[in-house]
Amino acid sequence: MNPEATLEEARDQIDSCADHAALKEVERHYLGRKGVVAAALAGIGALPPEQRKQAGQGANRVKQAIQELVDARAEVLDAAALESERSGAGFDPSLPPARLETGSLHPITQVTRELEDLFLSMGYAVLDGPEVELDHYNFEALNIPKDHPARDSHDTFFCDDDGGLVMRTHTSPVQVRAMEQLEPPFRVIAPGRCFRQETTDASHDHTFYQMEGMVVGRDISVGHLIGAMRTLLRGIFERDLDVRLRPGYFPFVEPGFELDARCPFCEDGCSVCKRTTWIELLPCGLVHPNVLSAGGIDPEKWSGFAFGLGLSRLAMLRYGIDDVRHLFGGDLRFLEQF
């Protein structure tokens, strides 16, 4: 191979390439595995020893030079293509870009934020509490001592051997933390994640969201509780719904209730209310004196009400979600609907 002649010839061919396909072809002809340069390198072994070094250097110089010519030509072709696209017919620079993917807030987040706004407008403060909680706050201070049968319904994830640390099974421990931190009178809500060691099915998951509410003041009565819950319902369903209270037992309230609301979706029974026209909305009650004491508040002077709203359940009601496991399944086909 005559290096100078080969390079000259390659240069002509490269310069006359009108597109990338032709350029690739020329590149392959010279630099490919079976190309001109490869053949020259392969032939070096057959030359007399004193010529080998020069022949090798020559071939490598040609190889490098051709590669540079090819790269330069590719850039020229790219620039020309862009130029003709810009100036040519059919290119509309005023077209909007391809639609960008945007995310959306998770349905639980949407419900939480709406309720936070609603309660803030009613003078409540929004509190946060730890998800890994001391037994004291999750149970003991809520009038649920170690041997209390109510612990049976809380299938707890214990975090250490002696059971002193648990994944909180409800948001109620924030009641006690609130009492320790705030001077009465006060109103607080505490939305957050809770955990129970559940066998999961369409209506139970090991991870779910609640929103605790607590009001402490002078002479707080069941009337105040009902009034607040009716306002809450109006905020959620955007109209007045009748409520009813059924007795419900929770060690940290006395009296304790299950509050039901008229089914917002039907007049005479549907699948949501299981044909009863009532939907079970939330447990609530007046704060037990023992709980006020545990929070450092004198039950002779102060009283209060508390409620626990199931946010996962509420989001399901609101959006007609039929399986709680969808909420944290991470399936985009589900999430994209919100």
Residues that bind ligand PHE (CB under 6 A): 170, 172, 250, 253, 256, 283-285, 306-308
Q: How many CA atoms lie within 13 A of 144 on its CB side?
A: 22
Beta pairing, strands 243-247 & 132-134? unpaired
Smallest distance from the beta carbon of 210 to ligand PHE, in angstroms? Answer: 6
6/138 with CB nearer ligand PHE: 138
Smallest distance from the beta carbon of 309 to ligand PHE, in angstroms? Answer: 8
- Which of 208, 189, 18 shows the shortest CA–CA distance to 115? 189
Smallest distance from the beta carbon of 190 to ligand PHE, in angstroms? Answer: 10
As a dihedral over the C-alpha atoms of residue 256, residue 262, residue 265, residue 267, rounded to 10 degrees, the angle is 150
DSSP class of residue 228? H
Please say whether the dihedral angle defined by the alpha carbons of residues 90, 91, 95 and 97, taken in this order, is positive or negative.
positive
Smallest distance from the beta carbon of 179 to ligand PHE, in angstroms? Answer: 14
Burial class (CB in 10 A: 0-12, 13-18, 19+), 264: middle
31/284 with CB nearer ligand PHE: 284
70/253 with CB nearer ligand PHE: 253
Cα end-to-end distance, the chain, whole Å: 69
30/307 with CB nearer ligand PHE: 307
Residue with smallest beta-carbon separation from ligand PHE:
308
Q: Is it true that the peptide bond before 255 is cis, omega within 30 degrees of 0?
A: yes
Smallest distance from the beta carbon of 283 to ligand PHE, in angstroms? Answer: 4
30/139 with CB nearer ligand PHE: 139
